[in-house]
Each structure stands twice: as C-alpha cells, then as structure tokens.
Amino acid sequence: MGFVTDIFMIGLPISLLVTAFFGYDQMHTATGLDVIVHDPKAATNPPNPVASVLQIALFMLTYVLLWHYSGQTPGKKLARIRVVDARTFQNASYGKLVLRFVGYFLSLISIVGFLTGLFRRDKRALHDLISGTAVIREA
C-alpha cells in the first residue's frame, strides 16, 4: 500500500513535471527499464536520456530528502514505518540514503534483494544492508 501511495504522491508529480518540460511525446517513449530488459519498444522508440536522468535524479532527491528529514515518504508514513540509520536508529545521513536509493535498483534487478528481508531476523533487505539503514515501526 505504501509503494502505491508513493507512486501517486511522488511519482505522478515528477512524471508530470518531466512531461511539461520535455513535451507530451516523452510519455510515449521507452523507459530505462525497457532498455535494460531489451524490450523491442526501446529500439523503436528510445527514451530521451536527459529526461530519464532528470526523472531518476528528481526521484532520488525527493526520496533522500524525505527520508533524511522525517525518515518517511508518504507511503511509509501511511504504513507507520521509518527509514533510520541501522546503528543509531536516528535519521540516516545523506550518503547512506543515496546508497539506499541506488540499492533499490540492485534489489529490483536481482529480485533476491527484496526477498532477503524475508529470511533475516532484522527484516533488512539488500538495499538496507548495503546502505547501513533499517526500516522500523513508529511508536
């Protein structure tokens, strides 16, 4: 539920901003993920690299700032969970949070990264292990 909330509250505004800046046709191009998985759409309608990098940068900036400021995106707030430094249980540093964001891609590509948390007592997924963060329940 939290992921869906974040897609609407963070992803949609960012996509609209990129569309407004690069034009409506940008919405019909392939995505970076299409390129990675060799989808035929990527060959016939390749993504604009500048728009793709800008969109990822805006996502990263938004997530990192929200995680650093309060430990929560809107979806995490709804789920009553927070991202914290795994050692101090305080708000994590910007560096750790950037690593966590990049680690999401590793978790996504491997799928195993997200499943890691199912087999660990502390429930930390690959991106949390890489970055030294943890997700905790709010009191």
pLDDT tens digits, one per residue of 29-48: 776 667 767 778 777 777 78
Residue 84 predicted with pLDDT over 90: yes
51 and 88, same domain (yes or no): no
88-92, 104-108, 133-137: range with lowest mean pLDDT: 104-108
84/52 Cα distance (integer angstroms): 28
88 and 59, same domain (yes or no): no
112/16 Cα distance (integer angstroms): 32
66 and 91, same domain (yes or no): no
125 and 88, same domain (yes or no): yes
Q: Is residue 28 part of a domain?
A: yes
Instruction: Looking at mean pLDDT, say which of 4-13, 18-27, 31-40, 90-99 comes out highest.
Output: 90-99
pLDDT of residue 32: 65
Number of domains in the chain: 2
27/34 Cα distance (integer angstroms): 13
42/135 Cα distance (integer angstroms): 35
Q: Which helix (H) or strand (E) holds 42?
A: helix 40-44
Q: Is residue 50 part of a domain?
A: yes
Q: Is residue 75 part of a domain?
A: no
What predicted TM-score, i.e. pTM, was given to this entire model?
0.86
pLDDT of residue 33: 65
36/62 Cα distance (integer angstroms): 24
52 and 102, same domain (yes or no): no
pLDDT of residue 86: 97
Range(s) of the domain holding residue 135: 80-139
User: What token pair was written down for 51?
Assistant: 């728009």
**Locate tokens 């409506």: which residue?**
24
Assign 126 a pLDDT band (cuts: 50, 70, 90).
Answer: very high
Domain boundary among 48, 70, 92: 70
Q: 28: Cβ–Cβ under 8 A, 6 or more apart, which residues?
A: 45
The mean pLDDT value of the chain amounts to: 89
